[in-house]
Structure 1
C-alpha cells in the first residue's frame, strides 16, 4: 500500500487547514501523526478516508484518489474520537454492517474485543458512555483489518488500563499481519515507543517526517558552558535554546557521539517535547516573517 500526497491543500475562506503538503508513505508501519490543535491532522485523515475533497493538490492510495471511490474506501478505515456510528444502531448492528463493508473484517477479533471491553451487543450506541463508544470504535478499527487503519484520538473516555489493552491488542494484530496504522494523539509520551515513523504538522504544513530511530539518534538536548554549546550548534539545525547563568541547553539535530566527545551533557528528547518545541519554533518563525 502506498500513499502519495502532492501539494495537498484545503482552504476554508481565508484559512488553510492544509497548505501545499507533500509526502509519501509506502511501508506497513505504525506512523505517529502529530501536531497541535488546528494543525491539519484531522483534515488530512478525512481526505485519506475519502470523506472530503482537497481544494488543490492530490492524494493517492495505490494510485487511486480516495474520494467517492469504494475500492479505496474499503481499504481505509478511519476511527475518530467520536460520532463514528449512528446513535440508533445497536452494537451488534455496527459490527454486522462494518463486516459487510470491509472485506477482511475479523468477526472473531471483534467478538473478543467486545468481551474485553464489556460491550453489550444489544446496547444502542446512544446509551453508551463516552469510553464505551470509544471502545466500540477501537473494536471496529482493529477488526477491520484494512491495509490502512487510522486512529484519530480513538480513546476519549477510556482509563489507563483500557488504553493499555488497546495498545497491546493493536501491537499483537500489527505483528501478526502488518498494515499501515496512522495514529494521531495528544498522549504522545504514552504511545511514542510504538511509532516507527513520525510526521509533525503545524498550521497546515509538514514540519518534520523522520523515522523514530533517526529521531532518537539525531535529535538531542545538549547542555554545557554557553560558549561551548554555541560553538557546537554552529551550522547545525537548531530547534530551540535557553540560557541560565553562563550555561546553555540546546535542542538540536546533531550527532550524539560528537556531543559526548565534546564533553557536554547529552540527553534524548521525548517525542512530545520535540513536537512542542518544533511547532513553537515554527510559530515564532512565522511571527517574525510577518513582523
Structure 2
C-alpha cells in the first residue's frame, strides 16, 4: 500500500508548551484512520500542520511526496473539516457549499444535495444563526461531498444527536466503499467510531503511544475477572495496564496473547475472560501512561466524556 503522508521527527512548541514531541508516522492511501487521544493531546495541532495551516518547529512533513506548505498541488487534494470552522458573518450554508464546489475538483453536487436532505440543513439561514448541530452539518457535508483524496475530520459532529451521528457514520462508510480515499477521523466517541476505522493512532501528551491496525489493537489486551490469587499468578511478568480489587476478587487488564497454559489456568480457576473494547484499551493505556503525572485524573475524565 502506498503512503500519502510521511511525518518524520515532528516537533511543535508554543512558547513553553510542547504540543508535539518528535513524532514519526506514515498514513497510507485509501484507508480510514482514527486519530484518538485526550483533549490537548496534540491531535488538532498535527492535522493543522499536515494541512499547512500551521508549521512545525522542527522535523519533516510530506504529503503526496511534497511539503504541503504554500503548495497548491498538495492543498487542492486535501479537505480539513475543523471542529469550529469560521465563515464570513453574512455567509449561509448555500454560500459555503457553492464555494466548496469551486475548491474541490472531485465535488459531487448530487451527493451534497442528498446530504442536505439527510441532515435537514437550512440553506438560507446565516451560518452564525444555525444551531451547533446544523453548523457541524455544513462541515460534514463539505467533507463528504468534496471527495478529496485526503479528508481530515476534527470532531466533526459536535452538536449532532445520536441519529445525526449515525447518519454521518453510515454515509461516510457507504461512500468510502464506492469512492476509496484516505480519511483521518479525530474523535472522543471511540466506541462509536471503532467499527469504522481501520487504523488507530493514539497521541498522548504530544507523543504517539499507539500506531497499529484496529485488528492488532483489539487483540493486544484481555480483561480477566475472578479470584485475586489466581489472577496474580496469571499476570506475573506481564504488562498490566489496569488493576482493581474488591475483597478476594480482582479485575485485571493486561497486554499480550494467552498461551494454552494460561487458558488452562483460567479454566481451572473459573476466571471470567472478557474482550477489551477499543475505548477501554485506549483509556487504560493512557491511564497507565499518565499515572506519574499530577493532572492525569482530569485528562482521563476528558477522554471518557
Range class of TM-score, shorter chain:
over 0.9
Unaligned runs of 5+ in 1: none
Paired residues for 1:224-235 under 5 Å: 224-235=226-237
Q: Is the 8 A contact 1:256 1:266 kept in 2?
A: no
Number of aligned residue pairs: 287
CA contact (8 A) 1:199 1:210 kept: yes
Pairing 1:269–2:276 present:
yes
- Seen in structure 2, the aligned counterparts of structure 1 residues 193 and 261 have a Cα distance that, compared at 3 Å, is farther
2:54 to 52, 55, 59: 52
Q: Which residue of 2 aligns with 1:260?
A: 263
Identify if the C-alpha distance between structure 1 residues 261 and 177 changes in structure 2 by more than 3 Å, giving closer, same or farther.
farther
Distance in 2 (alpha carbons) for counterparts of 1:87 and 1:211 = 42
Aligned partner of residue 154 in structure 1, secondary structure: coil
State the Cα distance separating 1:189 from its structure 2 match. 1.5
Tell me, in whole angstroms, the C-alpha distance in 2 between the residues paired with 1:64 and 1:262. Answer: 54
CA displacement, residues 12-53 of structure 1 (integer Å, 9 cap, x when unaligned):
111111111111111422211111111001101111111000
Q: Which residue of 1 aligns with 2:75?
A: 73
CA distance in structure 1 between the partners assigned to 2:259 and 2:171 by the alignment? 37
**Structure 1 residue 121, shift from structure 2 partner:** 2.6
Judged with a 3 Å threshold, the aligned counterparts in structure 2 of structure 1 residues 180 and 257 are, in CA distance, closer, same or farther, namely farther
Q: Is the 8 A contact 1:5 1:21 kept in 2?
A: yes
* Pairwise CA distance, 1:211: 1.1
Q: 2:240 and 2:136 mapped to 1: Cα distance?
A: 39
Measured in 2, the distance between the counterparts of 1:160 and 1:224 equals 35
For 1:2, what is the secondary structure of its paired residue?
Answer: strand
The alignment's TM-score, normalised by the length of structure 2, stands at: 0.88
4+ long deviations beyond 6 Å: none
Q: Is the 8 A contact 2:85 2:139 kept in 1?
A: no
In 2, distance between residues paired with 1:178 and 1:190? 21
RMSD (Å), alpha carbons? 1.7
2:288 to 278, 281, 284: 281
Q: Match for 2:172 among 167, 170, 173?
A: 170
* 2:242 aligned counterpart, secondary structure: strand
8 Å Cα contact 2:49-2:55 kept in structure 1: yes
Asked if 2 retains the 8 angstrom alpha-carbon contact of 1:218 and 1:256, the reply is no
Distance, in Å, in 2 between the alignment partners of 1:28 and 1:245 is 50
Instruction: Deviation per CA, 1:39-94: give whole Å up to 9, x if none.
Output: 00110111111100010111111211222211211111111122243332222221
The one of 217, 220, 223 aligned to 2:219:
217
SS in 1 for 2:195: helix
Q: Runs of 5+ in structure 2 lacking a partner?
A: 295-305
State the SS of the aligned residue for 1:194.
coil
Pick which of 42-51 and 1-10 moved more: 1-10
TM-score by length of structure 1 reads 0.92
